Chain A
Amino acid sequence: MRVSMDIELKDVPGQMLLALQPLSECKANLITVVHHHQKRTPRKTVPVKLVLETRPESIETIKAKLEENGIRIVRVGEHRFRESINVVLIGHVVHTGIQDTIDEIDRTGFAEVVDLSLSMPGINMLSSALMKIDAVGKEDLHRALAILKEVSAKKDLLMVLPIDIQA
């Protein structure tokens, strides 16, 4: 998963190394480092923003190791979902149980329906839905789409996928 971290370094040489060593030891992949040289906190420390990719179970170890090295951790934010996709569903979207369709995705734990637009022009007419699905990673997104595909087939819904996704 992707994690952002705000840390503070003492304004003495060698601090950045102390901050990055624990990441390397835990095999975290460093995505960005923003080192605010010119800024100082009231504590006279230098604020640094990190974005890294790591396994969820490594986060606590990384935090502990940073603290051992005397690095102050101000904030840790998880970016749980890295992948996102829009999918259109057409058919009797509501009557075949829209909640159930959403639940099928949500209960996976690795993907969630985060937005839904719905249009029901008339009782005997086809409804249309545009669903935004977020997922932890690319593979998870494909797993979620496979589930949605199965549900759509069962409910006789037409699923319209983005062109860059392998249908």
Chain B
Amino acid sequence: MKTVCCSILGFGAIGQGVAEVLLKKKEYLENIGLEVKVVAVVDSKGATINPEGVDLANCLARKRTDGTVALDNLSGVEVIQSVAHDLVIETTPTNIRTGGAGLQNMFAAFQTGKDVITSNKGPLTLKYRELMEAAKVAGSHFRFEATVGGSMPIINLSNEVLAGNKIKSVKGILNGTCNYILTRMLEERASYNDILAESMQLGIAETDPTYDVEGIDTACKLVILANAIFGLDATYSDVKVTGITKVTPEALEMAYERGHVIKLIGEVSRERIHVAPRLVPINHPLAVGGALNVASVETELAGEITVTGKGAGPTETASAILSDLIAIYGN
């Protein structure tokens, strides 16, 4: 049995999802020879630390009742530096302007020779090269499937499963909120603002939806794909971005009458990185509805491979983190 000591930094929806999945998959992991011991859980208010293994069920309960797991007044970086462990599961909120706590956590993890698995797009959008370099120097594993498309495998699909194929392009719907809004606008013949309000009520859109509806979130994911799959050194400023705020129910209806839906499509290849609303034929593989994500990987040998799935949600994102964990420590 191999024991992997890890920390969970960030205990919001995704961090809690990871804790729940680790509890649920304890037996499965043991069956494949892995004992995953969480030695620290950190949220914005502080940390719970136990070198013998934190009681995750207790952490989840305390988070629900007290709003925090904090027992020690330690930050993520302090935990990384003072608590011995192998892996940092970094699930703090995305900040694309500064990289936020996530960026500091990742650099600190690599400086202390730890592996990192993350769902946090911000640091990768801002400092991809530096982070990869730091991981390489430290000899650390660094995996981030959960940053793009939630549960949907895109990065690992392109780089590992489709190994040997030259990837020509990836295009798809990488933001569930935009897909939900456009799908509902067409279904209800309702305005953008009405459906946005509905999405906020349902918790599908954030209180400040700018990041999603202006295409910024999609653009960040494309930057990660550009770097991770195409080996570019792209940043956010390399992406041409148009959001969905101008799309009208009338435009959706006219397009539909001619056999098309309008979707916010992200597209990345060696030549260009682009986000914009596009006309997609109704029977096209990318014409998925609701809050689904979808991506088509155009390959040299295997043709076009399309995957679709839930792009967000704690359990779905934790599923991608779990697969990264098994990819590093399994076998």
Question: What residues of chain A have their CB less than 8 Å away from a CB belonging to chain B?
Answer: 86-88, 90-91, 117, 119, 121, 125-130, 158, 160-163, 166-167
Q: A117-B254, A130-B254, A160-B251 are in contact. Are A88 and B246 (CB under 8 A)?
A: no
Q: A163-B265, A167-B278 are in contact. Are A90 and B248 (CB under 8 A)?
A: yes
Which residue of B has the minimal Cβ distance to A91?
Answer: B246
B250 to A162, Cβ gap below 8 A? no
Q: What residues of chain B lie closer than 8 Å to A86, measured between beta carbons?
A: 255, 258, 260, 279
B262 to A160, Cβ gap below 8 A? yes
Q: What residues of chain A lie closer than 8 Å to B253, measured between beta carbons?
A: 119
State the Cβ distance, B62 to closest chain A Cβ, in Å: 47
Q: What residues of chain A lie closer than 8 Å to B278, measured between beta carbons?
A: 160-163, 167
Q: What residues of chain A lie closer than 8 Å to B280, measured between beta carbons?
A: 162-163
| Bitwise interface map of B from 218 to 260 toward A, beta carbon under 8 Å scored 1, else 0 | 0000000000000000000000101000111011011101101
User: A163 contacts which of B171, B254, B257 (Cβ < 8 Å)?
Assistant: B171
B196 at the interface (CB under 8 A from A): no
B251 to A90, Cβ gap below 8 A? yes
Q: What residues of chain B lie closer than 8 Å to A163, measured between beta carbons?
A: 171, 263, 265, 278-281, 284, 286
User: A161 contacts which of B251, B279, B284 (Cβ < 8 Å)?
Assistant: B279
Q: What residues of chain A lie closer than 8 Å to B265, measured between beta carbons?
A: 163
Q: What residues of chain A lie closer than 8 Å to B267, measured between beta carbons?
A: 167
User: B251 contacts which of A88, A162, A166, A167 (Cβ < 8 Å)?
Assistant: A88
Find the residue from B242, B250, B260, B267 having the highest chain A CB count within 10 A. Answer: B250
B254 to A128, Cβ gap below 8 A? yes
B277 at the interface (CB under 8 A from A): yes
B274 at the interface (CB under 8 A from A): yes
Q: What residues of chain B lie closer than 8 Å to A126, measured between beta carbons?
A: 246, 248
Q: Interface range on chain B: under 10, 10 to 19, 20 to 34, or 35 or more?
A: 20 to 34
State the Cβ distance, B241 to closest chain A Cβ, in Å: 12
Q: What residues of chain A lie closer than 8 Å to B276, measured between beta carbons?
A: 160-161, 167
B254 to A119, Cβ gap below 8 A? yes
State the Cβ distance, A4 to closest chain B Cβ, in Å: 26
Q: What residues of chain A lie closer than 8 Å to B248, measured between beta carbons?
A: 90, 119, 121, 125-128
Report B268-284 residues with CB < 8 Å from chain A CB: 272, 274, 276-281, 284
B251 to A130, Cβ gap below 8 A? yes
State the Cβ distance, B251 to closest chain A Cβ, in Å: 4
Report the bound CA distance from A86 to B284 in whole Å: 16
Report the bound CA distance from A149 to B272 in whole Å: 17
Which residue of A has the minimal Cβ distance to B242?
Answer: A158
Q: What residues of chain B lie closer than 8 Å to A90, measured between beta carbons?
A: 246-248, 251
Report the bound CA distance from A14 to B286 in whole Å: 52
Which residue of A has the minimal Cβ distance to B171?
Answer: A163
User: A88 contacts which of B242, B254, B272, B281 (Cβ < 8 Å)?
Assistant: B254
Report the bound CA distance from A86 to B257 in whole Å: 12
Q: What residues of chain B lie closer than 8 Å to A161, measured between beta carbons?
A: 276, 278-279
State the Cβ distance, A56 to closest chain B Cβ, in Å: 31
B279 to A121, Cβ gap below 8 A? no
Report the bound CA distance from A161 to B171 in whole Å: 15
Report the bound CA distance from A123 to B154 in whole Å: 44
Report the bound CA distance from A160 to B265 in whole Å: 11
Which residue of A has the minimal Cβ distance to B248?
Answer: A128
